[in-house]
């Protein structure tokens, strides 16, 4: 199997390159596949000899998206849709990564894949447009919604906590937002497996959830990071109202992963095990 991957330097793109094993990859980064130029991106799909497409590109600056919604819409919505059309025209399955931000974050129940969407801000709105565009293209696809992505690369919560924890004796962290941290390596493995299964059975196309377990607050996630890394930093809980941001964050980012398990045989990953691998890669695991 060969996969055309959009996204070279992001967390999931980096993980895909490290986890591909015997799977061949054609990786297109932003210097070649500029997501503000959808037709050029589609041309790579037209020309590829890959068997399937994975889109790991996204505009993920949640707060900046409030001021740059047009740019976020192009990257998260328009271009994925054009890529999906090109893939559909060639009969290539496509795996498209989306987000829990398409929901309104209300309640405490994990969101099922068919739960009504209701994004709170620009980032979620533009990702929802991308989902709708991928579906509308009419090809074989899997939209994989994930949450709280972490890895040893790029900017993410684990790396931020390690940096701040080494500088301060105490941190005050939001405790009323609950979700599933998801390791980029686990997402990469899931994308490769799903792409392979779609090639064998197009009836598996649809929308799926994939988030790490168990669900946890940001504050408790930080405590676990500090414990596993041996970082001497205390964590104090605070409500989201004490930390206002330009974009509203969902309180409930829990997602129901059952259909991913039943359809593809992919179990919900344990972020605690993935965190050990991340800390090991960073040379930060407590010995």
Query: Percent of the chain beyond pLDDT 70?
Result: 100
3-state secondary structure of 4: strand
What is the mean predicted confidence (pLDDT) over 167-194? 97
Q: How would you list the strands of the sheet with 216-217, edge to edge?
A: 216-217, 178-179, 252-253
Question: What integer pLDDT is reported at residue 26 of this predicted model?
Answer: 97
What is the mean predicted confidence (pLDDT) over 133-145? 98
Catalytic status, residue 123: yes
Per-residue pLDDT of 109-132, as tens digits, reads 999 999 999 999 999 999 999 999
- The pLDDT confidence band at residue 235, using thresholds 50, 70 and 90, is very high
Question: What integer pLDDT is reported at residue 42 of this predicted model?
Answer: 97
pTM over 0.85: yes
Give yes or no for residue 277 having a pLDDT over 90.
Answer: yes
Per-residue pLDDT of 69-96, as tens digits, reads 999 999 999 999 999 999 999 999 999 9
* 283 Cβ contact list (under 8 Å, min separation 6): none
> Taking the domains of the chain in order of start, what are their residue ranges?
2-155+181-214+253-269
Closest among 5, 236, 277, 51 to 153, alpha carbons compared:
277
Report, at the CATH architecture level, how domain 2-155+181-214+253-269 is classified: 3-Layer(aba) Sandwich (3.40)
Separation of alpha carbons 26 and 245, rounded Å: 38
Query: Percent of the chain beyond pLDDT 90?
Result: 99
* 22 Cβ contact list (under 8 Å, min separation 6): none
Separation of alpha carbons 255 and 247, rounded Å: 21
Note whether 254 and 179 are within 8 A (CB). Answer: yes
Q: Name the catalytic one among 59, 123, 208, 243.
A: 123
Strands 52-55, 94-99: pairing is parallel
Question: What integer pLDDT is reported at residue 287 of this predicted model?
Answer: 82
Region at 105 (left for phi over 0; alpha for psi -120 to 50; beta for the rest): left
CB atoms within 10 A of CB 204: 15
């Amino acid at each position: 199997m060969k996969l055309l991957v959009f996204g070279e330097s992001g967390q999931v793109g980096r993980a895909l390159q490290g986890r591909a094993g015997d799977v061949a990859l054609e990786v297109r980064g932003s210097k070649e596949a500029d997501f503000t130029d959808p037709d050029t991106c589609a041309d790579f799909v037209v020309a590829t000899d890959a068997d399937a497409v994975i889109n790991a590109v996204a505009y993920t600056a949640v707060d900046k998206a409030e001021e740059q919604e047009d740019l976020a819409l192009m990257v998260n919505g328009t271009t994925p849709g054009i890529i999906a059309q090109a893939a559909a025209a060639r009969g290539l399955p496509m795996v498209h990564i989306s987000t829990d931000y398409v929901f309104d974050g209300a309640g405490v129940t994990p969101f099922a894949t068919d739960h009504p969407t209701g994004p709170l801000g620009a980032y979620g709105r533009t990702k929802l447009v991308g989902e709708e565009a991928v579906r509308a293209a009419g090809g074989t696809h899997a939209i994989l919604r994930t949450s709280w992505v972490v890895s040893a690369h790029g900017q993410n919560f684990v790396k931020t906590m390690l940096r701040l924890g080494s500088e301060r004796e105490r941190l005050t962290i939001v405790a009323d937002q609950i979700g599933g941290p998801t390791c980029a390596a686990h997402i990469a493995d899931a994308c490769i497996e799903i792409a392979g299964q779609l090639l064998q059975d197009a009836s598996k196309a649809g929308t799926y959830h994939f988030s790490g377990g168990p669900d946890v607050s940001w504050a408790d996630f930080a405590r676990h990071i500090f414990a596993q890394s041996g970082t001497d930093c205390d964590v104090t809980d605070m409500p989201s109202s004490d930390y206002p941001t330009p974009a509203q964050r969902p309180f409930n980012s829990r997602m129901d992963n059952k259909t991913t398990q039943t359809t593809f045989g992919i179990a919900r990953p344990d972020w605690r095990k993935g965190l050990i691998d991340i800390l090991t890669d960073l040379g930060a695991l407590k010995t």
